[in-house]
Structure 1
Amino acid sequence: MGCILKGNSGLYSRMTVGAVLLAAGAGSRLGGRPKSLLELGGVPLIMRQLIALSGAGVDEVAVVLGHHADAVEAAVRTFPITLVRNPNPDDGQPSSVRIGLQALSPKLDAVMVALADQPLIDAQDVIDLIGAFKKRGDAAMVVPRVRGEDGETAPGNPVIFDAALRDEWLAGDANLACRKWRQSHPDRVRWFDTDNRRYRIDIDTPEDIERFAATTGHRLAWPASMALAATP
């Protein structure tokens, strides 16, 4: 089921939301293993993301694979999703975003870009972000902005934007997406200010894994098939 948006007429119309889930990284700082397959409570992080998106009513998801594509695909192929591969994942995240955007259907009202290595994002977090998007006014993109214990703020993920912006990106510079775009168009960005630090937690290094355990009390673990697969 999609999301419901109340229009100016007082009538309710359906807002269709698509998502690009990025899972193309090499995991070079984690011994060359796919961080999206790290498990929390025995469930791979990428599967947790798919469950969150589905539970929030996101209509369709394109998962972008690259490095470790076969292993990641094996973990998620039972989900009703579109799987696409970035043939050049080392070109950087914008190239994966572009491939994912191309894979989504054209008839969407909003598009979300999410990361496959965020352990704690759940359906309510996605629902809250969609709710902030509904209240965005004339902005084109909504980005969570998380307050830390020191009072400083920093942007988080996922982000959500108007589908017209997707079309704008696909028609233009391949590298102009998400972070670069919002830096160049601050007037078209609406910040979703929150204390919810789940939007800021992702896993890139062994230190991130240890920090996650220390701050949450939960331990991330590699599946047995990858437990000894690290490279120096």
Structure 2
Amino acid sequence: MKKKRFSVIIIAAGYSSRMEGFKPLLKFGNQTAVERVVSTYQQAGVDQIILVLGHRADEMIPYFENESVKMVINEKFDQGMYTSIVKGITQFDQENDAFFIHPVDIPLVKPITVIQLKEAANQASNGIIYPCFLAERGHPPLIDKKYQKPILENTMNGGLKKLLSLYEEDALDLQLTDETILMDMDTRSDYEALLDYHDLRAPNLSECYAIWDKYQLPETIQKHCEIVKRTAMEYAEQLKKNGIELDLSALRAAALLHDIAKTGKNHAQVGGELLRALGYKKVGDIIADHMDIVVEQGKAVTENEILYLADKLVKNDQLIDLKTRKNQTLDCYPNNPEATEKIEKRYQNAEAIMQKIKRIIG
């Protein structure tokens, strides 16, 4: 089957009247919001990027003069967002099969989210695909080009949302694990919340639970992960009080997700790869080490080591001391020298980590 081609219409034409500052040019790290959105679609391999400008267009054009971005000015931008959608659709490449609609004030959507929407469009026959987070629809919708004409000819009030509601029988809700599809920035407090999220290098709590749902993690494993998380964070917080630098958000996410692939083989490595694929390299690396690890004596305690120890201290959903846990594990493999050697090594590593921590926190 021939893979579909896609466009995106990025709307960056409005006044930003409720925001203290001009939304498209607000900074996230070393990028502006509009650069961040454009970059997302470039990374996701979208074939055509259409950027609709209006208010203060002259300030944004220089950012993309050397980029393969089609910029168009909406002279009617003061009449509302729908006019910008219409203007963008007039630039749609008819060789493409579908288009995203993406307002610039939803700036932190991840490239993997766009890729997953593209994959869904290549597999499903639905003409409208909505990204969803914990069953709530967000942005950007992906719309088949057969709706180009209805959008251009629409005279109803209520904007694009009202128009697309007429075609619910052709819609698909795609459940994803990216909360940023719901996170806009209408106000200064919204922007500050997005800045806090941007600084994370890990899924937040809601996204961790969404990952549980997506991969149907059994309740017994969920309970285990919660206790491992609590144990790991208690150690980490004490270590931080003693001057050890740690990424608490990455450790928390890794603890909640370390057994996300537990029902299959090589679950530590598979789980690590899953999180790396979602864009969380550090979390994936911590998860990949939670079964076997190299303990570096003389160096600071790492997030990887804390998770490794916490996992060994929790059997099912109960805390247990290392010696008892080791003996119980050995009892499961009588007359198996290879397994015995591996178990002994794992608990030697756990004890070494425990000693590193005790030297710091007592």
> What is the CA-CA distance between 1:98 and the residue it aligns to?
0.4
| Alignment partner of 1:159 is 2:159 | no
Counterparts of 1:13-24 in structure 2, within 5 Å, are 13-24=2-13
The answer for the alignment partner of 1:112 in structure 2 is 100
The answer for the alignment partner of 1:78 in structure 2 is 66
Report the 3-state secondary structure (helix = DSSP H, G, I; strand = E; otherwise coil) of the residue aligned with 1:112. Answer: strand
Point out the structure with the larger helix share.
2
Cα distance change, pair 135–173 in 1 and its aligned pair in 2 (3 A): farther
1:121 corresponds to which letter in structure 2? V
1:210 corresponds to which letter in structure 2? E
Report the 3-state secondary structure (helix = DSSP H, G, I; strand = E; otherwise coil) of the residue aligned with 1:180. Answer: helix
The answer for the alignment partner of 2:14 in structure 1 is 25
The answer for the alignment partner of 2:168 in structure 1 is 186
The answer for the alignment partner of 1:143 in structure 2 is 130
Asked if the contact 1:22/1:97 (under 8 Å) is kept, the reply is yes
Residues matched between the structures, number:
200
Larger radius of gyration: 2
1:45 corresponds to which letter in structure 2? A
- What is the aligned counterpart of 1:49 among 37, 52, 60? 37
Point out the structure with the larger strand share.
1
2:187 corresponds to which letter in structure 1? T
Task: Give distance in 1, aligned partners of 2:159 and 2:41.
Answer: 21
Asked if the contact 1:142/1:189 (under 8 Å) is kept, the reply is yes
Q: TM-score, normalised on structure 2?
A: 0.52
The answer for the alignment partner of 2:150 in structure 1 is 168
Q: Which of the pair has the greater relative contact order for Cα pairs under 8 Å at 6+ separation?
A: 1
The answer for the alignment partner of 1:200 in structure 2 is 182
The answer for the alignment partner of 2:219 in structure 1 is none
Report the 3-state secondary structure (helix = DSSP H, G, I; strand = E; otherwise coil) of the residue aligned with 1:73. Answer: helix
- What is the aligned counterpart of 2:88 among 84, 93, 100? 100
Task: Give distance in 1, aligned partners of 2:198 and 2:8.
Answer: 27
The alignment's C-alpha RMSD in Å is: 2.0
1:21-48 alpha-carbon deviations (Å, 9 max, x no partner): 10011111123x3201111111111111
The answer for the alignment partner of 1:129 in structure 2 is 117
Question: Which ranges of structure 1 fall in alignment gaps of 5 or more residues?
Answer: 1-6, 8-12, 148-152, 219-232
Q: TM-score, normalised on structure 1?
A: 0.78
> What is the CA-CA distance between 1:171 and the residue it aligns to?
4.2
The answer for the alignment partner of 1:222 in structure 2 is none
Cα distance change, pair 154–72 in 1 and its aligned pair in 2 (3 A): same
Asked if the contact 1:61/1:104 (under 8 Å) is kept, the reply is no
Report the 3-state secondary structure (helix = DSSP H, G, I; strand = E; otherwise coil) of the residue aligned with 1:167. Answer: helix
Cα distance change, pair 122–145 in 1 and its aligned pair in 2 (3 A): closer
